[in-house]
Chain A
Amino acid sequence: MFRSQFFGLIVLAVILVVLPFVLPNNFYLDLAIRMLINACIVLGLNLLIGFAGQISLGHAGFVGIGAYASAVLTTHYSWSPLGAMLAGALAAGVLAALVARPIFKLKGHYLAMATLGLGIIISIIVRNEAALTGGPDGMPVAALALFSFEISGEKQWYWVVSGILLFSLWASLNLIDSPFGRALRALHGSEVAAQVVGVDVAKYKLAIFVLSAVFASLMGSVTAHYVGFVTPNVADFFHSIELVTMVVIGGMASIYGSVIGAVLLTALPQALAGFEGWETVVFGSILMFCMIFMPKGLVPTLAAKFGRR
């Protein structure tokens, strides 16, 4: 089963290598970069939602922490981009660890509400601390310079982000098939069964929450440097919902589903631009039909249809 999954990794790598030579112009390359960044964040979120079975409706909050850590620390305090990125990741990780214990005592709707609240608080702080963050107008971010090498231009960014995605996919595939990953999936399947074989359920929920928060924050920093500008939208509720929708449409507990979900939902608004004014309606309808006819998400449904699990 996992052999064929690594085969998928090779196919994806080939597509990623060929793509820049096929795409007609930088507009499409930019779109591809956004897809890949979203795919990374969604992958981290899918580990939490799909594999560990713990919902987070505030994940954009962590993306926002990374994005604004990079923006604020490099602009106002002249930190190095790498230092700012790591500081953001650390802050996201510490915050996630602090709230994890009380939050993960909750289940289902209550957990959804708590994580929703967390995301909204972060988003409000970003919006209101205008002196630091520029408030609703946002703020510019310097280019990403690692030591003396500066990443600039769509081409370079494309290769960097492709590399990050491929590595994350490989690590995630390994993780879910490791003792840690099996414990995580087991606590999703039956919490009490996981407990009696010795899984410290609270510790595992905390670990995966922190991991996916740190990863979201890192990708937030990457986004900020790539776009060169951050606005509070990056941390807001709608972005959180967008991320969860990508997880669900692609397929919960499906590594490649995360990529497909992110790619489709990033591309869809562009593809529907021709509907002029009706695009939101069409977008919503497509999501609805997906959920009615493929409630398990695209990748698991298609995989089952073609006889592979």
Chain B
Amino acid sequence: MALLEVSNLSKIFGGVRAVQNVSFAVEAGIVYSVIGPNGAGKTTLFNLITGIYTPSEGQIRLDGRDIAGVAPHELARFGMARTFQNLQVCMNMTALENVMVGAHLRLDRNLFKGALRLPGIARRDALLRAEAAELMRLVGLEAFIDAHADAMPYGALKRLEIARALAAKPRVLFLDEPAAGLNPTETSEVDSLIRKVADSGVTVVLVEHDMKMVMNISDQILVLDYGKKLAEGTAAEVRRNPDVIAAYLGTHQ
């Protein structure tokens, strides 16, 4: 059974069918990319799967459990983590604290124990600090371990979101355009980071515009156009698909 199964998923905003009848399955341990022209419904699809939006129709199954319409904080319990296309970094906190928040569900969140700083809490926090610093090194942010989030450049914040998502120790990680706005060096760093994450056994679902990156690292690719599924397959298959070529380059009359 696939880790993630989406069947006949639709989302309607007023008169706009942002996602129409999309079905696909993601096997555990692979890098699965969703591509498509601007406005194809990629981010909407992400928001549906990660609980930000409620689907108008269709099922989403994670490990066979129906998760359509389940709140995002519940989904985190099932091992789902994500990053955002438009940054969602907590600018009122340090970089390290942003990563530490990612581990929320793995900690004792009791208010009173926290206020009294019981030894258990203090010990766990010290461990977490080290763990978060390690994650920041993993994503290439060792220079920012002591930085405040609002003092970091855009490219670093993108990777900070990835570190935060990884701190949750997810089974499936959704990355919404992790390379958008990055320069070629940074893009190739993110590229190898995603590969590292996938190799560690985390399933990665990716929305990305950088075709070189997508073709490089994806095991499977889903192509959306106008909210509909246009094609699905390996990089080589998708690249040859005439419908995909038409959607991206236009048809030759």
- What is the interface of chain A, defined by CB distance below 8 A to chain B? 1, 171-172, 174-175, 177-183, 185-186, 188-190, 192-201, 207, 211, 253, 309
A201 vs chain B, min Cβ distance (A):
7
Which residue in B84, B92, B102, B111 is a CB contact (below 8 Å) of A207?
B111
Is B245 among interface residues, defined by CB-CB distance under 8 A? Answer: no
- Chain B residues with Cβ below 8 Å from A180 are 109-111, 114-115
- Taking CB atoms and an 8 Å cut-off, the chain B residues in 169-211 that contact chain A are none
When distances are taken between beta carbons in the complex, the residues of chain A under 8 Å from B105 are 197-198
Take A188-B90, A207-B111 as given contacts and tell me if A198 and B168 are in contact as well, using a CB distance cutoff of 8 Å.
yes
**Could you tell me if B93 and A183 are in contact, using CB atoms closer than 8 angstroms?**
no
> Quick one: which of A172, A177, A179, A253 contacts B108, CB cutoff 8 A?
A179
Q: Is B100 at the interface (CB under 8 A from chain A)?
A: yes
Given contacts A177-B125, A182-B93, A190-B90, contact A309 B111 (CB under 8 A): no
Q: Closest 9 interchain pairs by CB?
A: A189-B90, A178-B114, A198-B76, A193-B88, A179-B107, A198-B105, A195-B72, A174-B117, A171-B115
Q: Is the CB of A197 within 8 A of B164?
A: yes
Question: What's the least CB distance linking B50 to chain A, in Å?
Answer: 6
Q: Are the CB atoms of B93 and A189 closer together than 8 Å?
A: yes
Q: Which of B101, B107, B113 contacts A194 (CB 8 A)?
A: B101
List chain B positions with a Cβ less than 8 A from chain A.
50-52, 71-73, 75-77, 80-82, 84, 88-94, 97-98, 100-105, 107-111, 113-117, 121, 125, 148-149, 161, 164-165, 167-168
- Give the CA-CA distance A190 to B121 in the complex, in Å: 24
Find the A residue at minimum CB distance from B78. Answer: A198
In the complex, the chain A residue whose C-beta lies closest to that of B128 is A179
- Shortest distance between the CB of B67 and any CB in chain A (Å): 13
Give the complex CA separation of A253 and B150 in angstroms: 15
**A197 to B102, Cβ gap below 8 A?**
yes
B101: chain A residues at CB < 8 Å are 182-183, 186, 193-194, 197, 199
Complex: A195 Cα to B71 Cα, angstroms: 8
B76 and A172: CB pair below 8 A?
no
- 24 inter-chain pairs at a CB distance below 8 angstroms, sorted by A residue, are A171-B115, A174-B117, A177-B125, A179-B107, A179-B114, A179-B125, A180-B109, A180-B110, A182-B97, A186-B98, A190-B89, A193-B89, A193-B164, A194-B90, A196-B73, A196-B76, A197-B76, A197-B102, A197-B164, A197-B165, A198-B104, A199-B101, A200-B73, A211-B111
Q: Do residues B72 and A196 form an inter-chain contact, with CB atoms below 8 A? A: yes
Complex CA–CA separation, A201 to B71 (angstroms): 11
**B contact residues around A1 at 8 Å (CB):** 94
Q: Please tell me if the beta carbons of B115 and A178 are within 8 angstroms of each other in the complex.
A: yes
Assess the B84–A193 pair: CB atoms within 8 A.
yes
B174 to chain A: closest residue by CB:
A196
| A185→B81 CA distance, assembly (Å) | 19
With A179-B109, A185-B90, A188-B90 known to touch, is A174 a contact of B116 (CB < 8 Å)?
yes
Contacts of B167 in A (CB 8 A): 197
